[in-house]
Amino acid sequence: MSHPAPSPLTIGPRGALKGRVRVPGDKSISHRALMFSALAVGESRVEGLLEGEDVLATAAALRAMGATIERDDDGSWRIHGVGVGGLLQPASALDMGNSGTSTRLLMGLVASHAITATFTGDASLSKRPMGRVIDPLATMGAEITASPGGRLPLMVRGIVPAVPITYTLPVASAQVKSAILLAGLNTPGITRVIEPVATRDHSERMLAGFGADLTIEETPEGRVISIRGEAELAPQHIVVPGDPSSAAFWLVAASVVPGSDVVIENVGLNPTRSGLVTALRMMGADITERDARSVGGEPVADLHVRHAALSAITVPHDLAPSMIDEYPALFVAAAFATGTTVARGAEELRVKESDRIAAMAAALSAIGVAVTEHDDGLSVTGTGGGPLPGGATIASLLDHRIAMSLTVAGLHAAAPVTIDDASPVATSYPMFFATLDAVAPVAEVEA
């Protein structure tokens, strides 16, 4: 999957954001809905699937391994699964594009099937280390040959039967946890993952919904997730809630742009994902929940957010796992707060689509924000609500969240902010800029 030609974009103030926003389906849940449906026996139906490039890469890979995946005219998706153990040998390499989630979780699937798959990706993904997934899967018996540094391209030669393991996560990672659980589905016996720090639990919730024999136990060593292998999954009807990571940009934009008043519909509020809402409320953000409900076992609500004066905080370290993808947006919120916000405990940001700590430090500094970079986060001194100086060109580094975060920063800047390449936004939120035009039309800018 080649990366498109760079698409520069210049963003300046547009006035208050007003109206209702419906964010795309949750990316993490969309990936898992496709994968678990592909392993069920029979046909599953998924509504609200995120149709970004990352999720479509997962769909293409599953088709290559035998699943039938089709989109209906009403926007819903039908997946006819092959059953656990039924994945077929792909005829060619699996192109993951920019999707680390696709890569790591599919490596787990392949590891306990009698097939061999080669994983490739774009320039950004090929820089991301896969060692934290390679190690436990190799312990289960898979043979994995990676490029230097444990990077893509890499080849996974699965094994049947694989060996069940008990694995303690050295770093909080829902992707590593999920890869091991997926490998465990086709492994005789019980595979266990121990996470000292709880991470997003979409895999556990959804696997249980598909009928997997999965248990969760809280112990002094941490949360123990056990799955019994050689499972039979039953097809499901899944409704994907709105992605809290996509909602993050509207939460911050409406909080910092004066006069804004926005309702973000159908946002997933799984407690393992809602850390940004907690952090913004600690800073003084005006965010209220409307019509709280449960959709497919996931808590959901509409979020009403209005402009508010933000104050600096020290972000609790234990919030990091529940907002790890939202740190770039949080750093932008901090840039408009009164005082110096300290946001640390997020060393995982170093190995995302880009080094998001270094990328955000460079981007914020370029547009006039006082930033101190730490090994695990940033300290950001805000403007007290006033506009940022702006007036610089920012490198998005093929990272969709960097591009969207700096777009938000440009909405309340004294001089326009230029993003060197906004095309990566399509990996997770294809309608982001169209939605921005709807809630803050360019035509509203005064001469």
Binding site as annotated, residues for 3-phosphoshikimate: 27-28, 32, 173, 175, 325, 352
325, 355, 375, 437: the catalytic one is 325
Residue 57 CB partners (closer than 8 Å, separation 6+):
1, 95, 96, 97, 99, 102
Residue 376 CB partners (closer than 8 Å, separation 6+):
344, 345, 346, 347, 349, 357
Binding residues: 27-28, 32, 100, 128, 173, 175, 325, 352, 356, 401
Q: Active-site residue 325, yes or no?
A: yes
What is the DSSP secondary structure assignment for residue 440, as one 8-state letter?
S
| Cα–Cα dist 85/123, whole Å | 32
Residue 99's nearest CA partner among 121, 119, 69, 74 is 121
| Amino acid letter, residue 237 | H
Task: Say if residues 387 and 395 touch (Cβ distance below 8 Å).
Answer: no
- Number of C-alpha atoms within 13 angstroms, CB side, residue 85? 11
Task: Say if residues 412 and 17 touch (Cβ distance below 8 Å).
Answer: no
Report residue 146 as tokens: 């990676």
Distances (CA, A) of 345 to 25, 128, 348, 399: 28, 20, 9, 21
Task: Supply the DSSP string of 144-183, one letter for each residue.
Answer: EEEETTTEEEEEEE--SSPPP-EEE-SS--HHHHHHHHHH
Residue 308's nearest CA partner among 281, 331, 284 is 284
Report residue 356 as tokens: 């998001």
Which residue is associated with the tokens 């997962």? 58
What is the DSSP secondary structure assignment for residue 338, as one 8-state letter?
B
Which residue is associated with the tokens 């999720």? 55
| Cα–Cα dist 408/385, whole Å | 14
| Cα–Cα dist 375/401, whole Å | 20
Dihedral Cα 176, 181, 186, 188, nearest 10 deg: 120
What is the DSSP secondary structure assignment for residue 259, as one 8-state letter?
T
Binding residues for phosphoenolpyruvate: 27, 100, 128, 175, 356, 401
CA angle 148, 149, 151 (to 5 degrees): 80
CB burial class (10 A; 0-12, 13-18, 19+) of residue 150?
A: middle
CB burial class (10 A; 0-12, 13-18, 19+) of residue 178?
A: buried
> Annotated catalytic sites, by residue?
325
